[in-house]
Amino acid sequence: MTTLEIALFWLLTLASAGFFAWTINQRLATLRMGLPDNRFDQPWERVKGVFVLALAQKRMHRDRYAGIYHFLIFWGFCVLALRSAGLVLEGLFPAFHMTEALGAFGYGYQTTKDVFEVLVLVGIAMAMIRRTVARPWRLENSLDAWGTLSFIAGLMITDLLADGAYILLYNPAWSAWAPASLWMAGLLKGLEGTGLLVFYKAMWWLHLAALYGFANFLPYSKHFHVFTSLFNIYFRELEPHRNLKPMDLEAEHFGANRIQDFTWKQMLDFYTCVECGRCLENCPTTLTGKPLRPMHFGNDMRDYLKATPLDQLGQDKPVPEDRPLIGGPVPEGSHWKRDEDHAPWSKAQLEGWISQDTIWACTTCGYCEWACPLQISFVDKLVQMRRFLTLEESNFPAEAQTAFKGMERQGNPWNLAKADRAKWAEGLKVPTVAENPDAEYLFWVGCAGSYDPAGQRVSQALVKLLQAADISFAILGTEESCTCESARRLGNEYLFQTATEANIETLKGHGVKKVITNCPHCLNTLKNEYPSFGGDFEVVHGTELVARLISEGRLKMEQTVDVDLTYHDPCYLSRVNGQVEAPRAILDAIPGVKLTEMEKHGEATMCCGAGGGRFWLEEKLGKRVNHERFEQALETKATTIAVGCPFCNVMLNNAAGETGHEGVATTDILELAAKALKA
């Protein structure tokens, strides 16, 4: 290298490294403004997640085509990192060549690098075909994405060309170990002498410039995840969505209405999104035109972080008027609108950052978090915003007030008499825990199972099944009160914690160890959220216990139930708590049942629209979620929809009536099982 080249190398390297260091320091300074969050527990579990989710890219392979090309690009990029470091060393020490310096290992690495560079180019070609030919609606064809693909392709091509020219210039011993570079050398045979040397240096400099340019481009692009993804996966929530973190009720500020109300890890989430759009595919609000798309929600927050100076992020004051506080009023024209040329929905002008309609739209179904390959959470952030609006502003949908009052005064969101809670069990010889204190199971009936007519029928069906299997159980009767799960997800943490403390005291007072419930929302609360408040119980869903009793031979499904049905997986049973087999095992055991699965089923199920407290709210924007899900059920041609959740039961039954399909029945799996019992 000439003196001028050495000077240029140092200038380019120092400028690039300095700007990169400044940018990363800005990002880290932003994260330090977030609230503390201990994500250093269970290190081995976190490391395992990095291997499975990041290195093996488990979730990426749910979309096989995208999983293949992303795997090729990811690992090729990792392999090339050593080569890029070697090029920098060549600039520092002109006589150095990494392959020659590393001996046998260098030869092996040269082969590996050549193969992976070709594979990366194959992966990039696949990605470009996907964006230009297949064009999935969830992908945004941004200049950012094309710029990233171009940078990566440029790095591969310039390195292969540089190696090809090097082989022609110096005929190194390792050339036989570089199949792709040898092929490039063959293409360059027309170049000789000075022209070949100039070409080699040009490729070397272009590769270095692309490397430095890409490193400084990434922090300002959606592909910042190249740097943050491993950290985001390591510091992930180990039980995402199942357990919302308790809020300190003695704090001076509740929830989140400023960016610094989020934790550093939540801010890291905002920086990590790759905009793959997987969170949108089964998202009920996205598919029905609500003003919430998880990906854009996170990206709006990321853009806020990038657009707001650090000194303003740290100030306890509103942001400028053109960027109103989170949860501010929805400006005219800020909702999603239908774009017939880009199904199913696209974004209209969003003034401000996050609208109230966006915050209240979420059903907390958890599909976005289940689908995200980088373990980004969404539900916790939206619930935090709801907590601020509910507890500090008393600014929540008017319909929620009735449910809140009912939970507080009567122990149920319907605001029905507490004294009537056990009327459903009259004549069934169902003991209370006071009458049967040694019962093996406490049957937690839940509000729907106690008051809603459809839910009552399911409660009665489970009683019949338990009695047939000679299971010792009891109920709390009028001592039972709402878990206030809906209140919690609507932001009323105070009501939830008050109810939780009372319920745990009641359960412990009766020495309860095992709990069975038909409601997936009660299941999740009792099983996953009560332990944070000192309530540790063994909790199972009704279908789980009944499936076990059938497999043990304690329940005989002998009566034929001729029904052609499809099964709707409740979100909080299947996706949140991982139970998809038990309901199907019951259906398989019932003579006469014919099951046709919906396209969106199992853990990939679509929400009925009731979760997140939405059951109690009016649905005023876009298409009704339960109608969308009901139409998916109709596509199977089934005449009955089986469910495993009282809220899903109501939502899909309502959809049948509202859309003029009264002939399509909705029933709970346990009702079918009770009908199939030996007469």
Rounded distance between C-alpha atoms, residue 469 and residue 552, angstroms: 10
Indicate whether 377 and 525 sit together in one domain: no
Decide the pairing of beta strands 538-541 and 563-567. Answer: unpaired
Indicate whether 227 and 325 sit together in one domain: no
Contact 374, 274 (CB under 8 A): yes
Of 320, 354, 363, whose CA–CA distance to 334 is shortest?
354
| pLDDT at residue 1 in the model | 67
Indicate whether 140 and 194 sit together in one domain: yes
344: tokens are 């199913």
| pLDDT at residue 332 in the model | 38
| pLDDT at residue 570 in the model | 97
Task: Evaluate if residue 346 carries a pLDDT over 70.
Answer: no
Rounded distance between C-alpha atoms, residue 195 and residue 188, angstroms: 11
Domain of residue 531 covers: 398-550
Indicate whether 652 and 565 sit together in one domain: yes
Rounded distance between C-alpha atoms, residue 472 and residue 545, angstroms: 13
Per-residue pLDDT averaged across 599-604, rounded? 94
Please give the single-letter amino acid code of residue 563: V
| pLDDT at residue 340 in the model | 33
> How many structural domains compose the chain?
4
Of 400, 357, 522, whose CA–CA distance to 449 is shortest?
522
Per-residue pLDDT averaged across 541-560, rounded? 95
Per-residue pLDDT averaged across 397-422, rounded? 94
Task: Evaluate if residue 174 carries a pLDDT over 90.
Answer: no
Per-residue pLDDT averaged across 376-404, rounded? 93
| pLDDT at residue 668 in the model | 97
Residue 70: what are its φ and ψ, rounded to 5°?
A: -70, -35
Last residue of a domain, one of 494, 523, 550: 550
| pLDDT at residue 679 in the model | 65
The CATH number given to whatever domain includes residue 369 is 1.10.1060
> Is 656 inside a domain boundary?
yes
Hey, which residues does 538 pair with through a beta bridge? Answer: 514
Rounded distance between C-alpha atoms, residue 182 and residue 448, angstroms: 71
Contact 565, 650 (CB under 8 A): no
Decide the pairing of beta strands 441-444 and 514-517. Answer: parallel
Task: Evaluate if residue 320 carries a pLDDT over 50.
Answer: no
Task: Evaluate if residue 348 carries a pLDDT over 80.
Answer: no
> Is 629 inside a domain boundary?
yes
Per-residue pLDDT averaged across 384-397, rounded? 91
> Is 123 inside a domain boundary?
yes
Task: Evaluate if residue 318 carries a pLDDT over 80.
Answer: no
> Is 28 inside a domain boundary?
no
Let me know the angle formed at the C-alpha of 603 by 641 and 283, rounded to the nearest 5 degrees. 85
Per-residue pLDDT averaged across 377-396, rounded? 92
Contact 542, 459 (CB under 8 A): no
pTM of the model as a whole: 0.88
| pLDDT at residue 194 in the model | 87
Per-residue pLDDT averaged across 143-153, rounded? 88
Please give the single-letter amino acid code of residue 334: S
Task: Evaluate if residue 58 carries a pLDDT over 50.
Answer: yes
Rounded distance between C-alpha atoms, residue 672 and residue 676, angstroms: 6
Last residue of a domain, one of 516, 550, 584: 550
**Helix ranges restricted to H, 513-614:** 520-524, 542-551, 571-574, 581-589
Task: Evaluate if residue 537 carries a pLDDT over 50.
Answer: yes
| pLDDT at residue 338 in the model | 29
Q: Which of 329-333, 340-344, 571-575 has the lowest mean pLDDT?
A: 340-344
Q: Which residues of 429-450 are buried (b: 16+ CB within 10 A; e: fewer)?
A: ebbbbeeeeebebbbbbbbbbb
Q: Please give the C-alpha separations between residue 214 and each of 8, 209, 582, 640, in angstroms, as whole numbers.
A: 18, 8, 49, 55
Q: Which of 124-138, 492-506, 527-541 has the lowest mean pLDDT?
A: 124-138
Per-residue pLDDT averaged across 245-269, rounded? 89
Confidence of residue 294 (pLDDT cuts 50, 70, 90): very high
198: tokens are 């100039």
**Helix ranges restricted to H, 191-293:** 193-217, 225-234, 264-272, 284-287
| pLDDT at residue 354 in the model | 81
DSSP H or E stretch at residue 443: strand 441-444
| pLDDT at residue 191 in the model | 81
Indicate whether 470 and 577 sit together in one domain: no
Indicate whether 576 and 513 sit together in one domain: no
Last residue of a domain, one of 493, 523, 550: 550
Per-residue pLDDT averaged across 634-643, rounded? 96
Q: Is the peptide bond before 136 cis (omega within 30 degrees of 0)?
A: no
Q: Which of 14-18, 219-223, 460-464, 493-497 has the lowest mean pLDDT?
A: 219-223
Rounded distance between C-alpha atoms, residue 89 and residue 13, angstroms: 11
> Is 344 inside a domain boundary?
no
Rounded distance between C-alpha atoms, residue 199 and residue 544, angstroms: 68
Indicate whether 608 and 669 sit together in one domain: yes
> Residue 243's CB: how many other CB atoms inside 10 A?
18
Confidence of residue 612 (pLDDT cuts 50, 70, 90): very high
Of 83, 57, 80, 70, whose CA–CA distance to 122 is shortest?
70
Q: How many helical (H) and strand (E) elements, i.e. helices and strands, does the chain have?
A: 28, 8
Contact 60, 373 (CB under 8 A): yes
> Is 152 inside a domain boundary?
yes
Between 54 and 46, the more confident residue is: 46
Indicate whether 263 and 370 sit together in one domain: yes
Rounded distance between C-alpha atoms, residue 488 and residue 475, angstroms: 24
Indicate whether 589 and 505 sit together in one domain: no
Indicate whether 79 and 187 sit together in one domain: yes
Task: Evaluate if residue 391 carries a pLDDT over 90.
Answer: yes
Per-residue pLDDT averaged across 424-435, rounded? 94
Packing angle between helix 64-92 and helix 103-129, nearest 10 degrees? 140
Per-residue pLDDT averaged across 632-649, rounded? 96
| pLDDT at residue 343 in the model | 31
Indicate whether 207 and 323 sit together in one domain: no
123: tokens are 């992966």
Indicate whether 403 and 454 sit together in one domain: yes
Confidence of residue 476 (pLDDT cuts 50, 70, 90): very high
> Is 215 inside a domain boundary?
yes
Rounded distance between C-alpha atoms, residue 18 and residue 645, angstroms: 57
The pLDDT tens digits of the residues spanning 3-49 come to 888 888 889 999 999 999 999 999 999 999 889 999 999 999 999 99
128 Rama sector, left if φ>0, alpha if ψ -120 to 50, beta otherwise: alpha
- The 8-class DSSP code of residue 260 comes to G
> Is 94 inside a domain boundary?
yes
Contact 638, 656 (CB under 8 A): no
The CATH number given to whatever domain includes residue 572 is 3.40.50
Task: Evaluate if residue 341 carries a pLDDT over 60.
Answer: no
